[in-house]
Amino acid sequence: MAQVSDIVAAAQSIWPSELADEWDRPGLITGLYSAPVTKVLLAVDLTIELMHDAVADGFDMVITHHPFLLKVPYELRQDSGKGAVLSTAIREDIALFSAHTNADVVEKGVSDVLAKTLGLLNAKPLVPTLGEKVGHGRIAELPQPMTLLDFSRMVARTLSATAGGVRIAGNAESMVTRVALCGGAGDAFIAAALEASADVYVTSDLRHHPVQDALQQARAASKEFALVDISHWAAESLWLSVAAAQLSEAVSDVKFVVSDLRTDPWDFAVTQ
């Protein structure tokens, strides 16, 4: 029977921890390396609702994209948000593991999967960190040029629907051929997208000032540039099925299941 150590070893071979950003904290959070594993649940976020599902369905291990203790809290009381999750995992002998930026930068990683799901061609890292194939984000080409409006509609159809929807900053009729993207919060790479001569940059959690500054910079340089803001959860959830398939190939006697729980935090939006 497979053990937690086998899952960790497989994950390490697919998403080497040394590829993670210095500030990141991926890896095994709780659990025994020698504990047996028959079922593993995969999700973007670790929440108490996810833990309830894991307990109810008899999972031995949970793998999430986001590290649970990235910003370590001062306390972990059982009646606190993180304490409730952690105490449940320990009490129920459920191992917790995460693969974060080390799963962002690799081939078949978060950004790579997003690019391929959108049908983009010749995808390469937008910000290489190791050679030509490893790095943050992707820069790629559409098979055929399309307007920003049509491209944005295609993005919206590709992703799971969320309350936040898809927001666009740019001229709806401008033509898009070259696409930069980054799964998750990627406003740190807006400048890289501009430098790569992307027509549009697709990422999540975009804020007022970085977007405004980028558009002003492009206009000052007489460039057509747009930004598309998508749900953080919806973008990264695309990767889960690919991750499950990779793990299943490496550890064939374990069942890997992608959670159907929506962990996007937004419930609804209103307009005037």
Strand partners, 255: 39
- 41: domain range? 4-103
The domain boundary residue, chosen from 67, 87, 103: 103
Does the residue 68 lie in any domain? yes
Contact 120, 140 (CB under 8 A): yes
249 is a domain residue:
no
Neighbours of 13 (CB within 10 A): 10
Rounded to 5°, the CA angle 137-138-140 comes to: 160
- Give 10-residue mean pLDDT values along the chain (272 residues): 97 98 95 97 97 98 94 72 90 97 98 98 96 95 98 98 96 97 97 97 97 96 96 98 98 97 94 84
Residues 176 and 94 grouped into a single domain: no
Asked whether residue 155 falls in the same domain as residue 189, the answer is: yes
Answer yes or no: do 109 and 184 share one domain. Answer: yes
Residue 83: predicted pLDDT: 86
248 lies in some domain = no
Chain centre distance of CA 72:
20
Q: Are residues 96 and 122 in the same domain?
A: no
Domain count across the chain: 2
pLDDT on residue 235: 98
Measured at the CA of 159, the angle between CA 178 and CA 199, to 5 degrees, comes to: 15
Q: Is residue 131 assigned to a domain?
A: yes
Same-domain pairing of 10 and 55 = yes
Q: Is 226 part of a structural domain of the chain? A: yes
Q: List, in sequence order, every residue forming a beta bridge with 64; answer none if it has no partner.
A: 43, 98
Last residue of a domain, one of 81, 103, 125: 103
- The pLDDT of residue 74 is 64
Same domain, 203 and 216: yes
Residues 137, 214 within the same domain? yes
Residues 87 and 137 in one domain: no
Do both 213 and 114 map to the same domain?
Answer: yes
Whether residues 29 and 117 fall in one domain = no
Answer yes or no: is 177 within a domain.
yes
CATH code, domain carrying 115: 3.40.1390.30
Residue 186 within a domain: yes
Distance CA 24, CA 41 (A): 22
251 in a domain, yes or no?
Answer: no
Distance from C-alpha of 218 to C-alpha of 214, rounded to nearest angstrom:
6
